[in-house]
Amino acid sequence: MILNVDNISVNYGAINALRDISFTLNEGEIVALIGANGAGKSTSLNTVSGLLRPTTGKVEYLGSDITTVTPQAIVNLGIIQVPEGRKIFAKMSVWENLEMGAYTVKDRKVIQERYEMVYQKFPRLKERRNQPGGTLSGGEQQMLAIARGLMAGPKVLLLDEPSMGLSPILVEQIFDIIQEINKTGTSILLVEQNALMALAIADRGYVLDTGRIVLQGDADDLLHNPTVINAYLGGETTD
Amino acid sequence: MNDPSSLPLTPKGNNNLQTNTNTAAKKLQAFQNSKFMKLLRPILGVVVSLYIVFRLYQVLVVHQEYGADTWTRLLISGLIIGGVYSLIAIGYTLVYGILFMINFAHGEVMMFGAYAGLYSFWAFKIIPIAGDPPTNFLNAYPILAIILAFLIGMTVSATMGFFLEKIAYRPLRKAPRLVPLISAIGASIFLQNAAMLLFSPQLRDVTNPDILRRGAGWTIVINGSNVILPYTGVFTFILSILLLVGLYILVRKSKLGRAMRATALDKKTAALMGVDVDSTISRTFIISGALAGAAGVMWGIHNGLVYYFVGFIPGIKAFTAAVLGGIGNLPGAMVGGLLLGIVESMGPAALGIDFQLKDVLSFLILIFVLTFRPSGLLGEVLSEEKV
């Protein structure tokens, strides 16, 4: 188990955003967290990233407790989040965005290698490296956001709604890239509203509803689960 | 315990506070777009422009009161004071860019730098250096003494900036935006009074090393009359420009500068990149403070008088300069500072009004910028997110 989230609850003031939820991520896996708006998916990721502190429960990374560790120390450990809505630094150029991704990396040589790796994966970013990030199209921005995450050399990549606002073709491209990244040994925790796409590439999945985990299991089983089909896959039966 | 609101970021629970300031900003925007303002703006614009053209015509063409020598003198003094304004304005703009608040205590940070310079020179003057005739450290090693005075002044002000943020602003990071503003004004009054009690309300003369005597300078002859290019002024101007260029490179090219810009754009995402947001904010205050400290020491060297209120007017002028250039915009603050210095120095002569009205002129500029172009000369219109 590379990541173990054990019984965490998170409150925003008086509102319980998460209630005693637990999930795990094994080495090399893709795990999907699916659910509607406000189910607590992003809250879960932000808690893992150290941006939010749970009131109860703990988060473990490779067996050590990281519940009260600062966000930057968590980045240093190799848990990298690609936030919802891409959150590109709009006024900074593409390469400066990538440079920010490698903020915690000290070794210039490693950074150079990562640039090459990232530019090879996303040739468009290389073409546009001197352009302000805000001038890229939505799809390019999502690629930049993922590339920026890769610059840190993640062991665990937390992806928050990478399909948001993208056309179906682009979504497919992004999901191909996610699978590729996973094949190179990065474990991925994927938060999605697009349950069908997410479960199609995931090994396992968890279904969140109003701060609770209501279903969990192998991705294939969830894809055929009647509750999931009714609630998140538009009621169509896949069999 | 463990309340998520104790974290460096604003969780969703705090949204109601943000919304309040948002509606205030929207009201302001609505007011600026209202019929009244739409009508007022062109009328005011025409009246002001007509007046300026009329006065310029009278002064420059009809009366020809001043020759080229006087204009050169005014330009020189404008550039010198403008450089100092720019240095202080940078502090306002950097802090505004990252925290969206006006650090009204910034002038006082500069004042402490001025005192540090004053006392450094005093101390250097007391240290005797044997020789024939016996002299003192200040005049035996003037360049070293000046460098040390600047280092001391910048360190004192940087430290002040650091603690100012830590004590007066950090605890209020989550509060509505008016609250840190009031805290800043409080800090400003506190620091002025603290300085008055510490250093006495007396006006102090700064003892310059002999190579930087006040009043001495190169003489140029223009129109048959002598124009003095003061050593202290040239020194001040060149040093301001060097510091401004240095800062610009730091913010544009260095890793710290990138972290500062990223934090200014989006604190949460910057934290996700591994940036320590709190320490980046602290560093911003340290850099702003150091520049204000340098401005304070320069002020002492060039103008010669230091007292507890010395930071107030330059502070407000520099704020005007930052607004003029577009607050939050780095080149804007630099250009705004120089421009304000020049307008303030040449404006009264050009308009044929009393020279004592130069402060009125500066603050009129502030009012006009806020009325006609709130985003400043180089600033862009703030996005909804930033407002």
Residue B97: list chain A partners with CB under 8 A. Answer: none
- Is A83 contained in some domain? no
Query: Do A117 and A10 share a structural domain?
Result: no
Q: What is the mean pLDDT of residues B39-46?
A: 82
- Is A30 contained in some domain? yes
Residue B169's CATH number: 1.10.3470
**For the residues of A182-195, what is the DSSP string, one character each?**
HHTT-EEEEEES-H
Residue contact A148–B273, C-beta within 8 A: yes
Among B163, B107, B74, B128, which Cα is nearest to B293's?
B107
- Is B380 contained in some domain? no
Residue A31's CATH number: 3.40.50.300
Sign for the CA dihedral angle at A171, A177, A178, A180 comes to positive
CA B111, CA B124: separation in Å to the nearest integer?
20
Mean pLDDT of chain B: 86
What is the domain range of residue B312? 66-372
- pLDDT (tens digit per residue) in A37-88: 888 899 999 999 999 999 999 999 999 999 999 999 999 999 999 999 899 9
User: Could you tell me which chain B residue has the CA closest to the CA of A95?
Assistant: B258
Domain end, chosen from A153, A174, A209, is at A153
Residue A100: list chain B partners with CB under 8 A. Answer: 258-259, 262, 270, 273, 275
Query: Do A72 and A16 share a structural domain?
Result: yes
Residue B276: list chain A partners with CB under 8 A. Answer: 70, 72
Query: Do A52 and A3 share a structural domain?
Result: yes
Query: Is residue A187 pLDDT above 70, yes or no?
Result: yes
Report the pLDDT value the prediction gives residue A183, as an integer from 0 to 100: 94
- Cβ atoms of A75 and A157 closer than 8 Å: no
Beta-bridge mates of residue A60: A4, A65
Which of A46, A103, A108, A158 to mutate to probe the B interface, most B CBs <10 Å? A103
Three-state SS for B305? strand
Which of A37, A48, A51 to mutate to probe the B interface, most B CBs <10 Å? A51
Report the pLDDT value the prediction gives residue A99, as an integer from 0 to 100: 94
**For the residues of B28-97, what is the DSSP string, one character each?**
HHHHHTSHHHHHHHHHHHHHHHHHHHHHHIIIIIII--S-HHHHHHHHHHHHHHHHHHHHHHHHHHHHHH
Residue contact A83–B272, C-beta within 8 A: yes
Domain end, chosen from A124, A153, A182, is at A153
CA dihedral of residues A223, A229, A231, A235 (deg, nearest 10)? 150
- Is B48 contained in some domain? no
Query: Do A58 and A134 share a structural domain?
Result: no
What is the domain range of residue A232? 1-78+154-239
Query: Is residue B15 pLDDT above 60, yes or no?
Result: no
Q: How many domains does chain B have?
A: 1
- Is A39 contained in some domain? yes
B292 or B54: which leads in pLDDT: B292
Which residues of B have a CB under 8 Å from any CB of A?
1-9, 11-13, 255, 258-259, 261-262, 265-266, 268-276
Residue B269: list chain A partners with CB under 8 A. Answer: 83, 87, 89
CA B275, CA A142: separation in Å to the nearest integer?
21
Domain end, chosen from A105, A132, A153, is at A153
Q: How many domains does chain A have?
A: 2
Residue contact B273–A51, C-beta within 8 A: no
